[in-house]
Amino acid sequence: MDSLGVTLLHVLSHSNTASDSIRNDPLLLAVRSSIVEMGPGRTTVAEIARRADVSRMTVYRRFESLDRLLAATMTAEFTDLLDRVEDETTPIRPARRRVIETVLLMSAEMLDNDLFLAILNEDPEVILPLMTRRMGQTQQAILSRLEALIAAGLPSGDGSIAPGSAAVYALTCLMLAQPFVFSRTAIESQPGGRAAIDQLPIVLDRYLRPGGDHALHSPA
């Protein structure tokens, strides 16, 4: 396996600061600070309005409901996070290695992001629908970017990824990585949990690498 420059436990120093999109929007910044300090369950429109120094009517004029405001905050935070990961991994070649490092670094960033951890630890029910019923905007953005990276590694690109459907590969990579993020506490509570986390890049590499038995790969 190619040497990988990051692991799932790698973090960046700016993971626990508000993203640029949120810093530039007083309402989103108010939501973020409230969730991190109080948890999503105690974050209310009144509290957001107080922190942003606006009226509750101003909040409702921009966002029809608290749920939409929470969703907008998470989307802004994690889309900016994904942009940073994309910048970090741009020089990496071949495409297979870049895909793997993108998944690992995105996972690591999520695991070190105080907004995500506040939601996961204090009110995991907010995240449950994204694991069981639907894909959120951030997940869709990750899929779109992974699909483009994977397409660059197929035989029509640099050939570092086995023939197959870029869309299927992207979805499978996301589904492989999500439990390592959402179930981090449960994994680390088990003997060998940290070692199990370090298996993710090996699994991804063997899944994407050309050669061997690819019976599980979908046709292109």
Answer yes or no: is pLDDT of 53 > 90. Answer: yes
In this prediction, residues 18-35 reach a mean pLDDT of: 90
Helix (H) or strand (E) holding 137: helix 137-151
Grade residue 194 by pLDDT with cuts at 50, 70 and 90: confident
* Separation of alpha carbons 196 and 167, rounded Å: 26
In this prediction, residues 171-200 reach a mean pLDDT of: 91
> 115-163 pLDDT, tens per residue?
999 999 888 888 877 777 888 888 999 999 999 999 999 999 999 999 9
> 196-217 pLDDT, tens per residue?
888 999 999 999 999 855 545 5
How many residues are recorded in the chain? Answer: 220
* Separation of alpha carbons 117 and 20, rounded Å: 19
Answer yes or no: is pLDDT of 218 > 60. Answer: no
What integer pLDDT is reported at residue 169 of this predicted model? 97
Residue in the block written with tokens 């997940």: 139
CA-to-CA dists, residue 132 to 13, 107, 202, angstroms: 31, 19, 26
What integer pLDDT is reported at residue 213 of this predicted model? 53
Sign of CA dihedral 125, 129, 132, 136: negative
CA-to-CA dists, residue 86 to 129, 146, 149, 210, 214, angstroms: 26, 10, 10, 24, 28
Q: What is the mean pLDDT of the chain?
A: 87
Q: What is the pTM of this model?
A: 0.84
CA-to-CA dists, residue 140 to 51, 99, 107, 195, angstroms: 31, 16, 15, 29
